[in-house]
């Protein structure tokens, strides 16, 4: 039980910290957030339930630290639910990993557009480079990351005890 809490907390902090790292974009407001491909891979490797729990923890920590607002959390949760559902329905396959991030971002932009009363197509266009970055990065890292995680004896043993077939 303590290992499960510790591992989920670690994943939550990883999501939080990677969300603060952004690569600049040629399009204003379209910076690439490193948390998107990392979050997609966490979901694919460790399952939707653990990913969602870690994501909620990351959001709560962001609120406590003052680095996130309720609006940020809402948009992040839309991304997490849609991307996680795509991965869960796609059974963590490579195509599901590749399309989950862009679909999660698209859904988040639709929600953001309706809240801000802005055309969601404009928001999606600004996010298009980041969606491409997420799809390519997650797609390229998925299989090597899966192979790497299988080579970690303690993690493999832990996941086997939890009844998970991942990674």
- The tens digit of pLDDT for each residue in 12-71 reads 999 999 988 887 767 666 667 789 999 999 999 999 999 999 999 999 999 999 999 999
Local structure of 165: helix, strand or coil: coil
Confidence of residue 150 (pLDDT cuts 50, 70, 90): confident
DSSP category for residue 31: P
Q: Any idea what the Cα angle at residue 102 is, between residues 18 and 113, rounded to 5°?
A: 95
3-state secondary structure of 22: strand
CA distance 93 to 105: 19
pLDDT at 106: 97
Q: What is the DSSP letter of 76?
A: H
Q: What is the pLDDT of residue 161?
A: 55
**Residue 162 pLDDT > 60:** no
- Residues 102-127 have a mean pLDDT of 95
User: Residues 42, 35: contact at Cβ < 8 Å?
Assistant: no
Q: What is the per-residue pLDDT for 166?
A: 60
Q: Which residues of 19-55 are buried (b: 16+ CB within 10 A; e: fewer)?
A: beeeeebeeeebbbbbbbbbbbbbbbbbbbebbebbb
Tell me the per-residue pLDDT of 58-98, one tens digit each, with 9 for 90 and over: 999 999 999 999 999 999 999 999 999 999 999 999 999 99
* CB-CB contact of 8 with 54 (8 Å): yes
The pLDDT of residue 99 is 98
pLDDT at 15: 96
- Dihedrals φ, ψ of 19, to 5°? -70, -20
Report the distance separating Cα 145 and Cα 116, nearest Å. 37
Domains of the chain, start order:
2-12+34-161 (1.10.1760)
Q: Is 90 strand, coil or helix?
A: coil
DSSP letter string, 123-139: HHHHHHHHHHHHHHHHH
């Amino acid at each position: 039980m303590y290992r499960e809490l510790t591992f989920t907390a670690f994943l939550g902090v990883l999501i939080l910290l990677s969300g603060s790292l952004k690569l600049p974009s040629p399009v204003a407001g379209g910076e690439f957030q490193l948390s998107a491909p990392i979050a997609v891979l966490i979901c694919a490797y460790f399952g939707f339930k653990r990913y969602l729990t870690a994501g909620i923890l990351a959001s709560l920590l962001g609120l406590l630290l003052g680095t996130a607002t309720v609006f940020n959390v809402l948009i992040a949760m839309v991304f997490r639910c849609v991307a996680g559902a795509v991965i869960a329905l796609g059974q963590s396959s490579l195509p599901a990993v590749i399309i989950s991030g862009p679909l999660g971002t698209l859904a988040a932009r639709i929600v953001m557009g309706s809240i801000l009363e802005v055309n969601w197509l404009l928001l999606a266009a600004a996010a298009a480079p980041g969606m491409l970055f997420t799809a390519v990065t997650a797609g390229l890292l998925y299989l090597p990351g899966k192979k790497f995680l299988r080579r970690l004896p303690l993690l493999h043993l832990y996941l086997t005890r939890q009844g998970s077939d991942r990674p």
